[in-house]
Amino acid sequence: MRVGVPKEIKNHEYRVGLTPGSVRELTGRGHAVLVESGAGAAIGLGDEAYVAAGATLASGPDEVYRDAELIVKVKEPQPDECRRLRPGQVLFAYLHLAPDRRQTELLLASGGTAIAYETVTDVHGGLPLLTPMSEVAGRMAVQAGAACLEKSRGGSGVLLGGVPGVAPGRVVVFGAGTVGSNAAQAAVGLGAEVVVIDRSVDRLRRLDERFGNRIRTLLSTREHIENALHGADLVIGAVLVPGAAAPHLLGRGDLALLRPGSVLVDVSIDQGGCFATSRPTTHAEPTYVVDGIVHYCVANMPGAVARTSTFALNNATLPYVLELADLGWRRALAGNPHLLAGLNVHRGRLSCRPVGEALGLPWVEPAAALAAD
């Protein structure tokens, strides 16, 4: 199979779909890999490393999209990239379609096949291709939030870990999944007071077993949410409904419960955000202020630590890329129900129920989309 790796073009996105090591695995199995020149340069993966791994360099994205059967990316395709896709071509990347009608419509119009990292499942019901970036984003949420609390960045001037004789800051984490547990770990490591809120007692129980009295766990009720916000310095939104738009946990009126200069970090922003006042930001302009509260809503947070993120992501995606290339996308999807769960768009049909419900668009089951060819 001919596999293409374009350079990412989203704002301050330096990750790359395949590392030279992943390329070597593909070329060693007889596949041709076309990598856009400079695709990995920003994170120290130069063209020479890709050539040594057996890749062919492309001068630009047009060549990659023209010649490749399978496009492997990181972030969702931007409008110009969507328009380059063609019928019969397969895109494998993060898509996050539920809050993005424009991208959804462009992918449907392309006639291509789009498989979303974030809806591929595993035998345990987990999301194996979302997990590594959720781990990164959870830890980064505390790092970014701590920086935003600095007075020069509009924050209240609180040091999360405190110092002897001065109380630490309070971190409230909504969600006890992969993002939330990693955020809790990072916050505990800094010495902050940590509260985790989730609607699943089982998830809270697992966190309690892991952290003991170093954190507080609360069931998600309005009373608990409001009480936790009083005195919070950093609030992290880390909720996920697979494939669907994130639920809003805080309304604008809830901001009044926080001290001016407190910080909201919305890790759920890729799926529309879990705070009513959230809107996507970029690494170039990561924050804005609403009612005295600093909002950090960068939609590609792991891109800030692009080298770590790229290798972590490739560890998870490579087996699926190899499967798609070795078997061909049709056999791979037909033979692996967990990979099939990642099928979001196929030949003009939407094949992800949560996306269809979020956008009010007709959808079919992934198996039905394939069978309709």
Of 100, 254, 266, 270, the active-site residue reads 270
CA distance 17 to 25: 14
Assign 342 to helix, strand or coil.
coil
CA distance 140 to 234: 13
Of 96, 198, 266, 346, the active-site residue reads 96
Q: Which of 176, 168, 210, 211 is nearest to 193 (CA)?
A: 168
Query: Hey, how many other C-beta atoms are within 10 angstroms of the C-beta on 290?
Result: 15
Q: Is 96 an active-site residue?
A: yes
Query: Hey, how many other C-beta atoms are within 10 angstroms of the C-beta on 150?
Result: 15
Query: In the chain, what's the furthest Cα-to-Cα distance?
Result: 69
The β-bridge relationship of strands 90-93 and 113-116 is: parallel
Assign 225 to helix, strand or coil.
helix
Cβ pair 260, 292 in contact under 8 A: yes
Cα–Cα separations (whole angstroms), residue 257 to 69, 231, 263:
52, 8, 12
Edge-to-edge strand order for the sheet containing 263-266? 215-219, 193-198, 170-174, 234-237, 263-266, 293-296, 287-290
Q: Is 224 an active-site residue?
A: no
> Mind telling me the catalytic residues?
96, 270
